[in-house]
Amino acid sequence: MPGKPASNDFKIIDHTADVGIMAYGTDLKQAFANAARGMFSLMTDLKRVRASSSREINISAADKESLLVYWLNELIYLFDTENFLGKKFEIKNLDDKNLMATVSGEKMDRTRHRIIRGIKATTYHMLEIKHNGGYQVSVIFDI
């Protein structure tokens, strides 16, 4: 049900013609990882995805907000070019301008995976990173 927490880590945001998530974490690394997991959960049933291979991600951006957009767009790019579905997200290093992570998952297998919805890109619309004891990130995806 939209607007209701999908888990304790993220919830789906209702938005006209698009879809978004609000992800949470005790630190920014966890919030970024939960945003990635939330995004892939919008695409497919993550219970059916195995963490059998991994990809290294290294990106830089001008600020944390852009870094979040670049991070999620890099994961969309992995899906678009390699059919790679991410399941586990280990953020090894994260500062205001750089992110290093290992993403574990597998290539899409049409016998086990069904794409619920395609995501074209992460947008800057309503993008927000809040720190209030823990972290909360909000992103809207172009579908």
pLDDT digits (tens, 9 = 90+) for 26-78: 999 999 999 999 999 999 999 999 999 999 999 999 999 999 999 999 999 99
Q: What is the CATH number of the domain that holds 124?
A: 3.55.10.10
Domain membership flag for residue 7: no
The rounded distance, in Å, linking the Cα atoms of 113 and 45 is: 7
Domain membership flag for residue 91: yes
The rounded distance, in Å, linking the Cα atoms of 11 and 5 is: 4
- Spell out the residues 6+ positions from residue 67 whose beta carbon is closer than 8 angstroms to its own: 59, 60, 61, 94, 96, 97, 98, 99
Cα 46 to the center of its chain, rounded Å:
12
pLDDT for res 1: 37
Domain membership flag for residue 2: no
pLDDT for res 15: 59
Instruction: Count the domains in the chain.
Output: 1
Domain membership flag for residue 8: no
Domain membership flag for residue 118: yes
Domain membership flag for residue 113: yes
Domain of residue 116, residue span: 14-142
The pairing of strands 128-132 and 98-107 is: unpaired
pLDDT tens string 92-141? 999 999 999 999 999 999 999 999 999 999 999 999 999 989 999 999 99
pLDDT band at 16 (very low <50, low <70, confident <90, very high): low
